[in-house]
Chain A
Amino acid sequence: GAVVSQHPSWVICKSGTSVKIECRSLDFQATTMFWYRQFPKQSLMLMATSNEGSKATYEQGVEKDKFLINHASLTLSTLTVTSAHPEDSSFYICSARVRSGGAYNEQFFGPGTRLTVL
Chain B
Amino acid sequence: AQSVSQHNHHVILSEAASLELGCNYSYGGTVNLFWYVQYPGQHLQLLLKYFSGDPLVKGIKGFEAEFIKSKFSFNLRKPSVQWSDTAEYFCAVNAGGNKLVFGAGTILRVKS
Which chain B residues border A111 with CB–CB below 8 Å?
A: 42-43
Please tell me if A46 contacts chain B, counting CB pairs below 8 Å: yes
Please tell me if B32 contacts chain A, counting CB pairs below 8 Å: yes
Q: What is the distance, in angstroms, from A45's C-beta to the closest C-beta of chain B?
A: 8
Of residues 88 through 107 on chain B, the ones whose CB sits less than 8 Å from some CB of chain A are: 90, 94, 97-105
Smallest CB-CB separation from A4: which chain B residue? B43
Contact A109 B43 (CB under 8 A): yes
Most buried by A among B36, B46, B98, B105: B98
Which chain B residues border A106 with CB–CB below 8 Å?
A: 46, 49
Prevailing SS type, chain B contact patch: loop
Please tell me if B27 contacts chain A, counting CB pairs below 8 Å: no
Contact B44 A93 (CB under 8 A): yes
Which chain A residues border B111 with CB–CB below 8 Å?
A: none
Partner-contacting stretch, out of A11-19, A36-44, A62-70, A76-84: A36-44
Of residues 33 through 55 on chain A, the ones whose CB sits less than 8 Å from some CB of chain B are: 34, 41-46, 49
Considering the chains assembled together, what is the distance between the CA atoms of A60 and B9 in angstroms? 26
Contact B102 A44 (CB under 8 A): yes
Q: What is the distance, in angstroms, from A90's C-beta to the closest C-beta of chain B?
A: 15
Of residues 66 through 105 on chain B, the ones whose CB sits less than 8 Å from some CB of chain A are: 90, 94, 97-105
Which chain A residues border B46 with CB–CB below 8 Å?
A: 106
Residues of A within 8 A of B (CB): 4, 32, 34, 41-46, 49, 93, 95, 97, 104-107, 109-112
Given contacts A43-B105, A97-B98, 16 further A-B contacts (CB under 8 A): A32-B98, A42-B105, A43-B90, A43-B103, A44-B90, A46-B100, A46-B101, A49-B98, A49-B99, A93-B44, A95-B44, A104-B32, A107-B100, A110-B43, A111-B42, A112-B43
Q: Could you list 7 examples of A-B contacts with CB < 8 Å?
A: A32-B98, A42-B105, A43-B103, A46-B100, A104-B51, A105-B98, A106-B46
